[in-house]
Amino acid sequence: MNKRTILNLVLLVGIAALALLAWYKPGIKKPPAQPPLTSLKAADIRSIEIERHGTDTVKLERENARWQMLAPRQMAADEYLINPLLKSLSDPTISHFAADAAQLGQYGLADPQVRLRLNNTEIDFGNTEPLQGHRYVKVGDTVYLTDGSLFYRLSHDALWWVDKALLPANARITALQLPNATLTLKNGKWQLAPANPDISADSIQKLVDAWHNARAQDVVAPEQGKSAGEVAIELAGKSAPVRFEILKNPDFLVLVRPDLNLEYRLEQDEGKALLHLETAARKTTSGHNGKKEMPDARTAGSRNHTPGH
């Protein structure tokens, strides 16, 4: 083994030793983990209130393992937002110190920007500290510094917490009226009107399943827009259909539920899956004169049919 090889091996051993020292830091004690904002467990929280300046107070309550909004609306709440919120409460904070009533104003906690109430525990959110941008949060007699993610989640308006599913949980569609077609469940099979042999039973079921599973990206108060049709959905056990008005929009599929005074916004691709039945490519046939002929449009049903209400 020559001197150059030996030197390279010594250098590699040295680099490895330095890397181990940097990783394990012998002799340097790690600081103790900081406590979370509250010792409350997510499973034990039954009610949530969110108070913000100039906006409606949001009241949420767990009912039979599901979350409901009690104010400012009475309707299902978005568990996809609530459950991560509750789980984040167990995250460690950055630091903490005893609260001094005389100094709360300098932290923005004398009149907090947001107040979160979990059962009977109040959590107040104040200003950010200037160096790292961490948020001052007061719980009881303690002020904590946090990373601000919880504050961001609480800063949305009230409708942010509304369930974004288009249909109620466990709903079962029995009839579906689209702008250009009507689907009706009869004897366990879907009937399409107008009839179209290019549309398979699988295509129909795929569209129905899309409605069962559809969730909006956002729910807002309805805005003015030009109507592009209507969707009416009959559900098992319900006397009145669920109705959506389709509004023309270049960026989203916009569906308005007039009875709830809510507007649901979905991606355009998801809109296609909800409003359009996929057709299978059909083979051409040869006529008696040897020329290829397409199937008679009359056998596929008129595309201009408008379902009745």
Q: How far apart are CA 31 and CA 37, in angstroms?
A: 18
Contact 192, 186 (CB under 8 A): no
- DSSP string for residues in 94-150: SEEEE--GGGGGGGT-SS-SEEEEETTEEEEEEEE-TTT-PEEEEETTEEEEE-SHH
Q: How far apart are CA 112 and CA 124, in angstroms?
A: 6
Q: How far apart are CA 181 and CA 302, in angstroms?
A: 10
pLDDT at res. 17:
63
Q: How many CA atoms lie within 13 A of 160 on its CB side?
A: 14
DSSP state at residue 89 = G
Contact 201, 213 (CB under 8 A): no
pLDDT at res. 301:
36
Blockwise average pLDDT, block size 10, the chain, 309 residues: 62 65 57 85 95 93 93 95 93 94 94 96 95 94 94 93 95 96 95 94 96 95 90 96 95 95 93 88 46 39 38
- 59 pairs with which residues across the strands? 49, 71
Q: What is the pTM of this model?
A: 0.76
pLDDT at res. 1:
61
